[in-house]
Amino acid sequence: MAACQNDLSKFAEFAKFPFDPIQRAKRIECMVMRGSARSYYRTRFAPQFDCPVTVDSVGCCLQCAYCWNALRNETMKLGDFWEPEEIATKAVKIANKEKTWRFRVSGCEAILGRASTDHFCQFIEALQEAGKVEFVLLETNGIMLGYDESLVKSLSKFKDVLGVRVAIKGEDPQQFEKLSGAKASSFKYQLRSLELLYQHEVPSRPAIMSTFMDVLKISELTKIHHEDIDVERLKFYPITKKSLIERGCWDMRKVKA
């Protein structure tokens, strides 16, 4: 693993679209993990979210045109490396201060492979050991969960406190490739992740950006009732609009407002 840490030259191959998200995940995991420690760049309380106690990491196997954290993930600007118990301690400190025990990991793809999944699971264990955990939200693109069922099995051990939100990146493989930067053929892993999470009884639901996707089409695609799909409208930050224009995705919006 040490051979690829901070080696951006080996990461450059994924700057060309479309790329293989599985290989990208393996490469990025190698960069953001040091043993069982992962790179985090901040902890915060975000009261606008249902799970406000937030720890922000870096690294994603997709490169979505509308990602709010794209610059950090594309340049792989790492933060400090923390063991699961250490980052959990920081999160618990916020939880005690704000009197809420609802947690989430943001800014990244938490599940990049075996090492990062073990880190995430150990993070939950550390939270449980520290006190009452009401809920832990995993926001994921589902690529690696759909690719490797063993990762879903690991998450299933925490199904009493864990909820998984799978962000679907397109209505079809072609739109997925355009919006995510990954090969169209890998779209199937997003859908497969939802199937596996259901099979292993892990609470989960798909989420979409209604700016680009129709909830009824996603409902038909995933065989999940439209009322059980999280629908979010994109916030056009300056960096987001710039990226959408540069990637040729600006005119893919459902509403041209």
Residues 163, 50, 104, CA angle at the centre, nearest 5°? 55
3: alpha, beta or left, given left = phi > 0 and alpha = psi -120 to 50?
alpha
> Quick check: is 5 in a domain?
no
Which candidate, 65, 150, 64, places its Cα nearest to that of 109?
A: 64
pTM to 2 decimals? 0.93
Question: Above pLDDT 70, what percent of the chain?
Answer: 93
Backbone angles phi, psi at 237, to 5 degrees: -70, 155
> Quick check: is 106 in a domain?
yes
Tokens of 88: 């959990």
Q: What is the pLDDT of residues 151-190, one digit of tens each?
A: 999 999 999 999 999 999 999 999 999 999 999 999 999 9
| Token pair 């979010």: residue | 232
Which candidate, 36, 134, 48, places its Cα nearest to that of 87?
A: 36
Greater confidence (130 vs 155) lies with: 155
**CATH number where 80 lies:** 3.20.20.70
> Quick check: is 124 in a domain?
yes
Q: 91 lies in which domain range?
A: 18-251
Residue 75 has a pLDDT of: 73
Split at pLDDT 50, 70, 90, the class of 83 is: very high
Decide if pLDDT at 90 tops 50: yes
Residue 255 has a pLDDT of: 66
Q: What is the pLDDT of residues 202-253, one digit of tens each?
A: 999 999 999 999 999 999 999 999 999 999 999 888 888 999 999 999 999 9
Alpha carbon 25 to chain centroid, angstroms: 11
> Quick check: is 4 in a domain?
no
Mean pLDDT of the chain: 93
Q: Report yes or no: 196 and 153 within 8 Å, Cβ to Cβ.
A: no
Which stretches of the chain are assigned E, i.e. beta strand?
33-34, 37-45, 53-57, 80-82, 102-106, 135-140, 162-167, 204-209, 230-232
Greater confidence (35 vs 68) lies with: 35
> Quick check: is 36 in a domain?
yes
Q: In the chain, how many domains are there?
A: 1
> Quick check: is 6 in a domain?
no
